[in-house]
C-alpha cells in the first residue's frame, strides 16, 4: 500500500477546489451543503480548468453548482485527498477548500451538475448532516477559523 491507503502503482492525479460557503442568517453562521448525485451531503467543489488557480476554481464551481453570485473569497481552509477508481484507472484526487462568503441570493441546485438539493444549515447542524468524513473535517476546521479569528469578509 502507498500513502493514503492506495494500492501500489501509479495513480492519475486530479486537482479540484471548493468552498465552505457561509452567511449569517438571523445572526447565526449558516453553511451551504449540497446533495450530490450519490444522495450524499457535501460541499460544492470541482475540477480546475486550464490554468485556473484553486481559488478561481472554487468560486466558479460554487457558482456553477449553486447559482450563487457575488461571492467573497476568504482564506484557504485545507487540502484533502483521496483515492478512487474511475473506469479501471486509479485516481488520486486533491481538493483545496476555501472559506467563501455569500452575502445574498438564493441557492438553487444545478441539476446538470448532478446537484439535487442546496440547503443552508446552522454550522452545528451542517456538521451533523455532512456525509463525507473528509469534508466534515474541512467543515470543522472552518468552524474553528470562524470562532478563533473571523476573516475580514462579510459572513
* Alpha helical stretches, state H, 67-132: 123-129
Going by DSSP bridges, is the β-strand pair 45-47/28-35 parallel, antiparallel, or unpaired?
unpaired
Q: What is the pLDDT of residue 127?
A: 97
Among positive and negative, which fits the CA dihedral 30, 138, 65, 149? Answer: positive
Cα–Cα distance measured from residue 107 to residue 132, given in angstroms and rounded to the nearest whole number: 21
Q: What is the pLDDT of residue 153?
A: 58
**Which ranges of the chain have pLDDT less than 70?**
1-9, 149-155
Q: What is the pLDDT of residue 154?
A: 54
Q: What is the pLDDT of residue 21?
A: 97
Q: What is the pLDDT of residue 27?
A: 87
Q: Give 21's strand partners.
A: 100
67-106: pLDDT as tens digits: 999 999 999 999 999 999 999 999 999 999 999 999 999 9
**Burial of residue 128 (number of CB atoms within 10 Å: 0-12, 13-18, 19+):** exposed
* Alpha helical stretches, state H, the chain: 54-66, 123-129, 133-148
Q: Which residues of 13-35 are buried (b: 16+ CB within 10 A; e: fewer)?
A: eebbbbbbbbbeeeeebbbbbbb
Please give the angle made by the CA atoms of 35, 39 and 41, to the nearest 5 degrees.
40
Per DSSP, the three-state class of 18 is strand
Q: What is the pLDDT of residue 53?
A: 98
Task: Please give the CATH number for the structural domain made up of 10-148.
Answer: 3.90.79.10
Amino acid at each position: 500500500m502507498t500513502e493514503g491507503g492506495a494500492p501500489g502503482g501509479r495513480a492519475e492525479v486530479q486537482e479540484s477546489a471548493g468552498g465552505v460557503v457561509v452567511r449569517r442568517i438571523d445572526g447565526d453562521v449558516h453553511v451551504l451543503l449540497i446533495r450530490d448525485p450519490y444522495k450524499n451531503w457535501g460541499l460544492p467543489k470541482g475540477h480546475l480548468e486550464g490554468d485556473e488557480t484553486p481559488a478561481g476554481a472554487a468560486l466558479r464551481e460554487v457558482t456553477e453548482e449553486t447559482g450563487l453570485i457575488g461571492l467573497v473569497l476568504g482564506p484557504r481552509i485545507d487540502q484533502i485527498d483521496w483515492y478512487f477508481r474511475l473506469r479501471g484507472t486509479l485516481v488520486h484526487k486533491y481538493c483545496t477548500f476555501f472559506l467563501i462568503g455569500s452575502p445574498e441570493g438564493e441557492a438553487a441546485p444545478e441539476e446538470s451538475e448532478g446537484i439535487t438539493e442546496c440547503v443552508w444549515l446552522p454550522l452545528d447542524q451542517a456538521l451533523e448532516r455532512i456525509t463525507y468524513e473528509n469534508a466534515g473535517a474541512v467543515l470543522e476546521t472552518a468552524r474553528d477559523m470562524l470562532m478563533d479569528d473571523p476573516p475580514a469578509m462579510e459572513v
